[in-house]
Amino acid sequence: MITPAVVLFYAAAALTIGGGLVVVMSRNIVYAALALLVSLMGVAGVFLLAFAEFLALVQVLIYSGAVVIVFLFALMLTRIEDFSRLTDHRQWPVAAIIAVSVFALLAAAIARTSVRTEPDRQSVGLSEFGETLFAEWAVPFEVASLVLLVALIGAVVLVRRDGGRD
Amino acid sequence: MSPVEALYYGLAALGLMAFLSVMVLALTWGERKALARIQMRMGPMRVGLHGTLQPVADVMKLVLKEDILPSWADRRIYWAAPLAVFVPAFLVWVTIPVSRDVVIRNMDVGLFYVVAITALSVLGLVMAGWGSANKYAILGGLRAAGQLISYEVPFIMAALAVAMLSQSLDLTEIVDGQAVFANALVQPLGLFLFFTAGLAELGRTPFDIHHAESEVVGGPFVEYSGAHWAVFFLAEYVNTFTIAALTVLLFFGGWRWPDVPFDGGVHTALSVLWFMVKTYAVILVIFWVRGTYPRLRIDQLMAFGWKLLVPLSFANIVLTGVVLFYGWPLWTLTVLSLGLLGGAFYLISILPGRGPSRMTVAVRPARDLRTRAAGSSASGVDSR
């Protein structure tokens, strides 16, 4: 049955897959970064259709608002001519094999999992979500933030090799 | 979604567009008049009574001007950039309430939605900077990315502290929480952080590093003209209006504090009016700041953000958390907040260094870095 939700889902899926294809096939690295943004926004759309509003917004804020911007920030300092042979790299057969096997693995895993379909599913309230995340799952949350902190400090240490004067 | 709902959202989008355009026209006129007043001039006087039709004439001029595409520009990115700036500026207004029920769609994650969508507007500036194939544009784009990412941190943290106080991200509930006294009275530090970081997010005058005319001749916008430049301009003023509206919603009680009298339709109309009066008061302060302060240098900007606003915003969250957790009366938060704000400024004033060097990070000449890198590497051989 074709409902608006189904149409929107296919639109979001098309954005995700199309964006992903442009990322790997584009000859212009800035286009590839912008296509990555489109793809990530498509994923946010899928989250939104699954009533995961919070996750969708996190996707927009972190990936589109921060990660892609940082990519572009670095890419702006390059010229396109530096990447003229971007897509005919010799490693592409290996990359294709790995990509196909990961896809096969995920597809098999999804096919074996029994998918629950709840037609009347509603979004979880934000306060309920917050309580689950910060009370019930507080320890994994803290571990994740610790990992991020370590990565952050590591990045600072890597960049400041001269010890600094200020 | 039923056809009726689809029609409602379509009409709402059109109405929002018209509302924001009128607000932008009013803002451009208001800004020129306010700045003229500060500089003891008259401002626009010729077109219409006291120049009130000047914005219309400006729009005519911008639309009729030639749209120039630089020959080295990346055509697609160059044309898409104005849209990438404008669309987020417009989308934010889907959930900003002007009064109770005068909103397109209220969300229980409203504040988070606003913050997430605002973060997207950097993208257009970066695209414009890269797509123009112009040195000044690229420099401006880099500056924009650096500045906006840096000031997003205190901006979001200050908003988060308000959400902690209201125990909600729903903008209507945040306003309802301020029915008796506004958050500005409870979190003066939060107001300072939000307003300052908001100005930086807008790139308005003390923080207009990325389109500083005397340094990067307009930054990302240097090659744009005509209607596409007008879209950037529109987005900038919509964003100004958004930040002012958010400041009112989060810190000055929105359409409440104090409640307007009467019931029904009159009440709603008066609420909208009251909200607008407050918003325009905040906008006037923004113009006043523009007319008063000179532009920061880029190193001062980064130091101000990372050394002052970010630590203060974390302290603000901790303070709010402590007061809420131990259930202390809210006036203790006011006192602590004011104390922290005053203490921070006192510390800056007694720190060594005078004038401009006080709030700076060290900038070393590039040749200094090169010799340093060559000296520290094991071989020490640099063919140049």
Side chain identity, residue A135:
A
pLDDT of B303 > 90? The answer is no
**Measured between CB atoms, does B138 come within 8 Å of chain A?**
yes
Q: What is the mean pLDDT of chain B?
A: 84
Distance (Å) from the C-alpha of residue B156 to the closest C-alpha of chain A?
Answer: 11
Question: In the structure encoding, which two tokens stand for residue A93, read together?
Answer: 């057969």
Q: Quote the ipTM score.
A: 0.80
Q: What is the pLDDT of residues B8-19, one digit of tens each?
A: 888 888 988 898
Q: Which among B77, B109, B127 has CB closest to A126?
A: B109
Distance between first and last Cα of chain A: 65
Whether B336 has its CB under 8 Å from any CB of chain A: the answer is no
Site of tokens 């939700």: A5
What is the Cβ-side half-sphere exposure of residue B257, based on CA atoms within 13 angstroms?
Answer: 21
Per-residue pLDDT, A49: 85
Q: In chain A, what residues touch B126 (CB-CB under 8 Å)?
A: 69, 72-73, 76
pLDDT at B377: 47
Q: In whole angstroms, what is the distance from residue B91 CA to residue A165 CA?
A: 45
Average pLDDT estimate for B313-335: 90
Question: Is B119–A34 a contact, with Cβ atoms under 8 angstroms apart?
Answer: no
Task: Kindly list the residues from chain B whose CB atom is less than 8 angstroms away from the CB atom of residue A4.
Answer: 1
Judge residue A54's burial from the number of C-beta atoms within 10 Å of its C-beta, 0-12 exposed, 13-18 middle, 19 or more buried. Answer: buried
pLDDT per residue as tens digits for the range A103-129: 999 999 988 887 666 666 666 777 888
The b-or-e profile of B256-276 (16+ CB within 10 A means b, else e) is bbeebeeeeeebbebbbebbb
Nearest CA in chain A to B120: A65
User: DSSP class of residue B99?
Assistant: B
B130 and A75 within 8 Å at the Cβ level: the answer is yes
Q: Looking at beta carbons, which residues of chain A come within 8 Å of B145?
A: 69, 72-73, 76
Cβ separation A58–B116 shorter than 8 A: yes
pLDDT score of B331 more than 70: yes
Between residues A111 and B195, which one has the greater pLDDT? B195
Substitution target from B83, B111, B127, B130 for chain A, most A beta carbons within 10 A:
B130
The whole-angstrom distance between B257's CA and the closest CA on chain A is 26
Looking at residue B277, what is its pLDDT?
A: 92
Would the pLDDT of B80 be above 80?
Answer: yes
Confidence class for position B223, pLDDT limits 50, 70, 90: confident
- Provide the mean pLDDT of chain A: 82
- Count CB neighbours of A73 within 10 A: 17
Q: Chain A residues with CB inside 8 Å of B79's CB?
A: none
Looking at residues B213-220, what average pLDDT do you find? 80
Cα of A108 to nearest chain B Cα, Å: 34
Rounded to whole angstroms, how far apart are CA atoms B147 and A56?
25
Residue B120 in contact with partner chain A when CB distance is under 8 A: yes
Report the alpha-carbon distance of residue B319 to residue B313 in Å, rounded. Answer: 10
Chain B residue numbers with beta carbons less than 8 Å from the beta carbon of A73 are: 126, 142, 145-146
> With contact defined as beta carbons under 8 Å apart, do B162 and B112 qualify?
no
pLDDT band at residue B288, thresholds of 50, 70 and 90?
very high
Which residues in chain A touch residue B117, judged by CB atoms under 8 angstroms apart?
Answer: 60
- Which residues of B are less than 8 Å from A126 in CB distance? 108-109, 169
**Interface A:B, Cβ pairs < 8 A:** 72
pTM of the full structure:
0.85
pLDDT number for residue B380 = 40
B77 in A contact zone (CB under 8 Å): yes
Residues of A in contact with B167 (CB under 8 A): 127
Specify the range with the lowest mean pLDDT, choosing from A115-119, B91-95, B270-274. A115-119
Strand ranges (E), chain B: none
Q: Is B8 on the interface with A (CB under 8 A)?
A: no
| pLDDT of the residue at A33 | 87
Cα atoms found within 13 Å of the Cα of residue B134, Cβ hemisphere only: 23
Residue A99 pLDDT > 60, yes or no? yes
User: CA-CA distance, B112 to B155, in Å (whole number)?
Assistant: 12
pLDDT(B101) > 50 = yes
CA distances from B258 to B175, B266, B335 (A): 11, 16, 23
